[in-house]
Amino acid sequence: MSWKDNTRKVTPYVPGEQPKAGDVVKLNTNENPYPPAPGVADALRKLADDYAIMRKYPDTNATSLVDALSEFYNVPSDNIFVGVGSDDVLAMSFLTFFDSDRPVLFPDITYSFYEVWAETFRIPYKTVALKDDFTIDIKDYEQLNGGVVIANPNAPTSICLDIDSVEKIISSNKDSVVIIDEAYIDFGGVSALPLIDKYDNLLVVQTFSKSRSMAGARIGVAFGSPDIIASLKAVKFSINSYTMSHDSIRIGAAAASLNDRSYFTETVDRIINTRTEATRRLTEMGFEVLESSTNFLFAKHKTHKAVDIFNGLRDQNIYVRYFDKPRINDHLRITIGTPEEMDKLYSALEEILNR
Ligand code: PMP
């Protein structure tokens, strides 16, 4: 007998590499290539004057952040939950809502953290195969379950499910909580957020990490009925009530981002334009590119192996994402960077494909 026999064994989620070297083109973790809204810098400067606040514990409800979100999305505060990135929000949601003997359903190809949380929390789950074209068949979600999780748009496929189909999944599962993970929704597709008034089993999760360029600030949000939000808070506060740092640290930055609507639209549009161009260029080079509603592309080359292209790019300090998993090990996931970064990618790809 050893302490090791009493230790929870988990295989952690493996995030994309964060290389230390300066001169790299990093297209592997779906970060936004543009800085956050300029007002964020002013907010952080103000924080320096207010540094003594660190002495105190923060407001567990992150009230001013929630109020700013409430105003921006025109949703009452008791419909809003905030966490340390959407990973924290999702993990807390798994723990809160998936307490059934029935399996939680999610696609076989989706954000791989879902499986890790289910394993970590010992939640029974069943993966549902996407169709051959990587789209969702909504009928697959009309079986008994202990919950449903859909990333929409999906990752790493970049494909978006239309809002009517999303609503059908929610309405046919009224006895389970349905989580719609909208990490990439601002780059395409229609949000399920307005449906929270109609379905009390719906939780919509969003993040400041992608369209708002604030992955490092770790701000995730969930929207749902007051009951669902109250349940989520009860579990969250039963683990650690102080996970969010002081409002003055996050709120200034988050509010500055929310307030600057034109900067937001401008950077999202730039990424969408670069995405259109990238789809064209990669298709010309012999890639089959799925239609993306996100800030990344999921592409397969007609003749060259994904792993060889991945390694060839890496040798040139260009990082994209390769998943050594069944059904998708012939694909690469490429985050949309700046036009300059994408030019470096195209030149490197041309060289690798012509070797
Ligand atoms: N959901 C999906 C589908 C994602 O791709 C990511 C980013 N890896 C997240 C959630 C988590 O993002 P964050 O914790 O930065 O909000």
Compute φ and ψ for 106, nearest 5 degrees. -155, 160
Judged against a pLDDT cut of 70, whether residue 131 lies above it is answered with yes
Q: What Cα–Cα distance (Å) separates residue 330 from each residue in 111, 150, 275, 350?
A: 17, 23, 21, 18
CA 48 to chain centre: 30
Q: Which CATH superfamily is domain 3-36+262-353 in?
A: Aspartate Aminotransferase, domain 1 (3.90.1150.10)
Q: Where in the chain is the domain with CATH 3.40.640.10?
A: 56-259
Reduce the DSSP state of residue 195 to 3 states and report it: helix
Q: Where in the chain is the domain with CATH 3.90.1150.10?
A: 3-36+262-353
Contact 30, 297 (CB under 8 A): no
353 lines ligand 1 (CB under 6 A): no
Expressed in angstroms and rounded, the spacing between residue 44 Cα and the centre of ligand 1 is: 24
185: left (phi over 0), alpha (psi -120 to 50) or beta: alpha
Judged against a pLDDT cut of 90, whether residue 17 lies above it is answered with no
User: Is 0.85 surpassed by the pTM of this model?
Assistant: yes
183 lines ligand 1 (CB under 6 A): yes
Alpha helices in the chain (DSSP H): 38-49, 63-73, 85-97, 113-120, 163-171, 226-236, 247-259, 261-284, 306-315, 339-353
Reduce the DSSP state of residue 80 to 3 states and report it: strand
Q: What is the tens place of the pLDDT at every residue in 279-291?
A: 999 999 999 999 9
**Residue 15 CA, closest ligand 1 atom number:** 8
CATH architecture for the domain at 56-259: 3-Layer(aba) Sandwich (3.40)
Q: Look up tokens 């969250």; give the residue.
A: 236
Average pLDDT for residues 250-265, to the nearest whole number?
Answer: 88
Worst-scoring range by mean pLDDT, 55-64, 100-109, 126-135, 147-156? 55-64
182 lines ligand 1 (CB under 6 A): no
pLDDT category of residue 248 using cuts at 50, 70 and 90: low
Average pLDDT for residues 325-333, to the nearest whole number?
Answer: 97
